Structure 1
Amino acid sequence: MDIEGKRGIMPCRRQFGAWRETAGCLRQVKNNNYEEPDNMNLLSNLVLGGMTCLLLVLPVLAQEADLVLRNGVVWTVDDNNPRGEAIASLGDKIVYVGSDAGVEQYIGPDTRVVDLGGKLVTPGFNDNHVHFESTGRLLYGLSLLDISDQAGFVGRIRDVHERYAPGTWIVGGDWSAYETWAAGDIGEAGRQVNPDDLYGNLFLPNKEMIDDFTRDRPVLVRRFDRKVYLANSAALERAGIGPGTPDPPGISVERSAAGEPTGALFNPVSGAVESTVLVRDNVRTLFRNLIPEPSRDQRIAETLEAWKKMASVGVTSYCDITSNPVYVDIYREMREKDLMTARVRYRPPLDKWEYMSGLGIRIGFGDEWIRFGAVKAWIDGIMGNSSARFYEPYTHNPASRGIWRDIMFPFERSPDNPEEMQSRLERLALDADNAGIQLTVHAIGDEANGYLMDMLERIIEKNGDKDRRFRLVHAQVMTDRDIERGGRMKIVAEVQPYHTSDDMRWMEERIGRDRSRGAYAFRRLWDSGAIVSFGTDSPGTNASRYFLNPMLGLYAAVTRKTLSGQPEGGWFPQEKITIEEAIRAYTLNTAYAGFEENIKGSLEVGKLADFVILSDNLLTMDPDDIKDVAILMTVVGGKVVYEAQ
Structure 2
Amino acid sequence: MKKLFYNGKVYVNRDEFQEAIYTEDEFIKEVGKSEDLLEKYSDSAIEKIDCNGKTVIPGLNDSHLHFMQFGESRNQVDIEGVKSIEEMIERCKIFMKKNPKRCEKGIHAIGWNQDLFVEDKRIPNRFDLDKISTEIPIVLERVCGHIVSSNTKVIEILGLTKDSPQYPDGEFLIGEDGYPSGVYTANACNFAKDVIPDFTLEERREMLIETMDYAISCGLTSVQSNDVGTTFMNGPVAFALLKDIYKENKKIRYRHQVCFNDFSEFEKYLTVGEFKSEDYKDNYLKLGPLKLFKDGSLGARTALMRKGYNDDKENYGLPWIKDEEMRKYVNLASENNLQVITHTIGDKAIEDTVKCYEESFKNGKNNLRHTLVHCQITDRELVERIAKDDICVMAQPIFLDYDMKIVEDRCGRDLASTSYAFKSLKDLGAHVAYGTDAPVENLNPFPNIYMAVTRKDKLGKPEGGFYPKECVDVYEAIDAYTVESAYVEFEEDIKGRIKKDFLADFVVLDRDIFTIDPMEIKEIKPLMTIVGGKIVYKR
TM-score, with structure 2 as normaliser: 0.85
Task: Check whether the contact 1:136–1:302 (CA below 8 A) recurs between aligned residues.
Answer: yes
Residue 380 of structure 2 is matched in structure 1 by 480
Query: Pick from 413, 432, 435: which aligns with 1:535?
Result: 435
Report if the CA contact (8 A) 1:314-1:634 is conserved. Answer: yes
**1:436 and 2:349 matched:** no
Q: 1:362 to 1:589 in 2, by over 3 A?
A: farther
Deviation at 1:344? 1.0
User: What SS is found at the alignment partner of 1:600?
Assistant: coil
Aligned residue number for residue 417 of structure 1: none
Could you say what secondary structure the match of 1:140 adopts?
A: coil
Which aligned pairs between 1:185-264 and structure 2 lie closer than 5 A?
A: 192-194=118-120, 199=124, 206-207=131-132, 220-222=138-140, 224=142, 228-230=149-151, 236=153, 249-250=161-162
CA contact (8 A) 2:105 2:137 kept: yes
Change in 2 beyond 3 A, CA 1:92/1:227: closer
CA distance 1:142–1:599, change in 2 (3 Å): farther
Contact kept? 1:381, 1:402, Cα under 8 Å: yes
**1:159 to partner: Cα distance:** 5.3
CA contact (8 A) 1:472 1:494 kept: yes
User: Is the Cα contact below 8 Å between 1:277 and 1:402 reproduced in 2?
Assistant: no
Residues 153 and 92 of structure 1: CA distance in aligned 2, closer, same or farther (over 3 Å) = same
Alpha-carbon separation, structure 2, partners of 1:281 and 1:486: 27
Find the counterpart in structure 2 of residue 566 from structure 1: 461
Match of 2:318 in 1: 403
Give 1:551's aligned amino acid: F
Tell me which residue corresponds to 2:211.
306
Deviation digits for residues 116-151 of structure 1 (CA, Å, limit 9, x no counterpart): 222111111101111122111112333321345266
The secondary structure found in structure 2 opposite 1:83 is strand
Spell out the pairing of 1:335-414 with structure 2 (5 A cutoff). 335-336=246-247, 338-349=248-259, 351=263, 353-358=266-271, 361=276, 366-406=281-321
- Cα distance in 2 between the residues matched to 1:107 and 1:230: 67
**Which residue is 1:505 aligned to?**
405
Per the TM alignment, residue 622 of structure 1 is displaced from its structure 2 partner at its CA by 0.9
CA distance in 1, matches of 2:484, 2:148: 38
1:438 to 1:230, Cα distance in 2 relative to 1, 3 A: same
Q: CA deviation at 1:552?
A: 1.1
CA distance, structure 2, for counterparts of residue 503 and residue 384 of structure 1: 8
Letter in 1 for 2:161: P
Query: Shift of the alpha carbon at 1:436?
Result: 0.7
In structure 1, the residue corresponding to 2:449 is in which secondary structure?
A: helix
Counterparts in 2 of 1:194 and 1:335: CA distance versus 1, 3 Å: closer
CA distance in 1 between counterparts of 2:185 and 2:374 reads: 22
1: distance between equivalents of 2:268 and 2:193?
30
Letter in 1 for 2:212: W
User: Quick check: which has more Rg, 1 or 2?
Assistant: 1
Q: Distance in 2 between matches of 1:157 and 1:109?
A: 57
| Aligned alpha-carbon RMSD (Å) | 3.3
Distance 1:364-1:597 versus aligned 2 partners, 3 A rule: farther
Given that 2:330 and 2:357 are in contact with CA atoms closer than 8 Å, whether structure 1 keeps it comes out as no
In structure 1, the residue matched to 2:418 is 518
**Structure 1 residues 458 and 594 mapped into 2: Cα distance closer, same or farther (>3 Å)?**
same
Q: Is the 8 A contact 2:217 2:529 kept in 1?
A: yes
Q: Which residue of 2 aligns with 1:329?
A: 240
Asked if the contact 1:68/1:86 (under 8 Å) is kept, the reply is: yes
Matched residues in 2 for 1:518 and 1:227: separation? 30
**Structure 2 residue identity aligned to 1:528:** L
Equivalent in the alignment of 1:71: 7
Partners of 2:323 and 2:352 within 8 A in 1: no
Looking at structure 1, the residues matched to 399 and 467 of structure 2 have their Cα atoms a distance apart, in angstroms, of 14
Counterpart check, 1:83 vs 2:17: yes
Unaligned runs of 5+ in 2: 164-171, 177-181
8 Å Cα contact 1:90/1:638 also seen in 2 = yes
Q: Deviations over 1:148-202 (max 9, x none)?
A: 526644444455557x5xx87453223643xx434xxxxxxxx73355x6759x9
The CA distance in 2 between the partners of 1:278 and 1:170, in whole Å, is: 17
Instruction: Provide the residue aligned with 1:135 in structure 2.
Output: 70
Give the superposition deviation at 1:314: 0.8
Q: Tell me the distance in 1 between the aligned counterparts of 2:148 and 2:174.
A: 7
Distance 2:284 2:409 in 1: 43
Specify the SS of the correspondent of 1:181.
helix
Distance 1:282 1:86, change over 3 A: closer
C-alpha distance 157-503 of structure 1, shift in aligned 2 (>3 A): farther
Q: Does structure 1 residue 291 correspond to structure 2 residue 196?
A: yes
SS at match of 1:547: coil
Alpha carbons of 1:198 and 1:124: their partners in 2 closer, same or farther (altered >3 Å)? closer
* Structure 1 residues 363 and 423, CA gap change in structure 2 (3 angstroms): farther
The residue matched to 2:324 in structure 1 has which SS? helix
Counterpart in the other structure of 2:356: 455
The answer to whether the 8 A contact 2:106-2:197 is kept is: no
| Letter matched to residue 43 of structure 2 | G
| Mapped contact 2:78–2:91 kept (Cα < 8 A) | no
Number of equivalent positions: 507
Q: What's 2:167 paired with?
A: none
Residue 467 of structure 1 and its aligned partner are, at CA, apart by: 2.2
C-alpha distance in structure 1 between counterparts of 2:338 and 2:324, whole Å: 19
1:521 Cα shift? 0.3
Change (3 A) 1:530 1:247: closer
Partner of 2:179: none
Q: CA deviation at 1:605?
A: 1.6
Distance change (3 Å), C-alpha of 1:425 and 1:550: same
Matched position secondary structure for 1:76: strand
Tell me the amino acid that sits aligned with residue 118 of structure 2.
Q
> How far, CA to CA, are the matches of 1:145 and 1:335 in structure 2?
31
Counterpart-to-counterpart distance in 2, 1:524 and 1:363 = 40
Question: Does 1:422 pair with 2:340?
Answer: no
Deviations 1:30-80 (A, max 9, x none): xxxxxxxxxxxxxxxxxxxxxxxxxxxxxxxxxxx6332221211134x7x
- How many angstroms apart in 2 are the aligned matches of 1:203 and 1:277? 11
Deviation at 1:381, TM superposition (A): 1.3
* Cα offset, 1:269, TM superposition: 5.6
- Whole-angstrom distance in 1 between the partners of 2:217 and 2:426: 29
User: Structure 2 vs 1, CA of residues 239 and 426 (structure 1 numbering), >3 Å: closer, same or farther?
Assistant: closer
Structure 1: tracts of 5 or more residues without a match: 1-64, 183-190, 252-265, 271-275, 407-420, 541-545
One-letter code aligned to 1:397? D
Does residue 387 of structure 2 align to residue 495 of structure 1?
no
Distance 1:627 1:159, change over 3 A: farther
Distance 1:203 1:291 in 2: 18
Q: Work out which of the residue numbers 50, 53, 56 in structure 2 matches 1:118.
A: 53
AA partner of residue 119 (structure 1): K
2: distance between equivalents of 1:115 and 1:634? 14
Q: Deviations over 1:425-482 (max 9, x none)?
A: 113212211221111111111111111222222222x665352211111111112112
Counterpart residue number, 2:484? 589
